[in-house]
Amino acid sequence: MNLNNFYVLVDTEKKLIIDKIQTLPQDWVNISGLPNYDDEKLSNLTWAGHKNLGWINIKSTKIKNFSSSSANLQLNKNEFKQLISNKRKEKQSYPILYKRAKIKTDLKTRYSLLLLKLSNRDQINFKCINGYYTFNQLEICKICDIIDEQIQKYFDIEKNIYEQIDKCGSVQDFFDINYDF
């Protein structure tokens, strides 16, 4: 996950993070095209009539000058967990490839495969992303196992990242987490 695109709204006078970590909104209050401004301009919004407010990139060294309340830190931990869950869902939905058959891993497909796995049919015609394929009972079992392993792998990664997030004592600690899936 690329943290370069994430910012926090800060109170530049109190040196306090006051909002959740997020990508810059396209329009914010009276500023249009917020993502088009450079980090220097974003860090102090006095030019737009917002005394003591700024957007700080969380990868910027400037973030070390700002603290957050325990409530804000918890908000940001929850926000990161949601981002990680979204990433896990995206990754686990990637199709698998089994003997040239490109097979979805969504819930409907998994359910269909499970029912076929429980059947005693010798030959099973199954519609895949790239056409129909014929599988035997052993192959259906293997496909189910491959999908289950892929999904479990991403849940394990998500759990590991959640544990790292829970240990963070400040927003700055989020840099030290390995977000790779």
The pTM for the full model equals: 0.83
Q: Which residues of the chain have pLDDT under 50?
A: none
Q: Which residues form the domain of 59?
A: 1-63
Cα dihedral sign, 148-153-154-158 = positive
Q: Are residues 49 and 112 in the same domain?
A: no
The number of distinct structural domains making up the chain is 2
Side chain identity at 7, as an amino acid letter?
A: Y
In this prediction, residue 172 carries a pLDDT of 85
Q: Which residues contact 116 (CB under 8 A, 6 or more apart)?
A: 124, 126, 140
Beta strands in the chain (DSSP E): 6-11, 16-17, 22-23, 27-28, 31-32, 53-57, 67-68, 96-98, 101-103, 123-128, 131-136
In this prediction, residue 113 carries a pLDDT of 96
Q: Are residues 111 and 138 in the same domain?
A: yes
- From residue 45, give the alpha-carbon distance in Å to each of 9, 41, 73, 128: 10, 7, 23, 53
In this prediction, residue 53 carries a pLDDT of 97
Q: Are residues 41 and 118 in the same domain?
A: no
Q: Are residues 98 and 173 in the same domain?
A: yes
In this prediction, residue 174 carries a pLDDT of 86
In this prediction, residue 115 carries a pLDDT of 95
Integer Cα distance of 55 and 44 in angstroms: 7
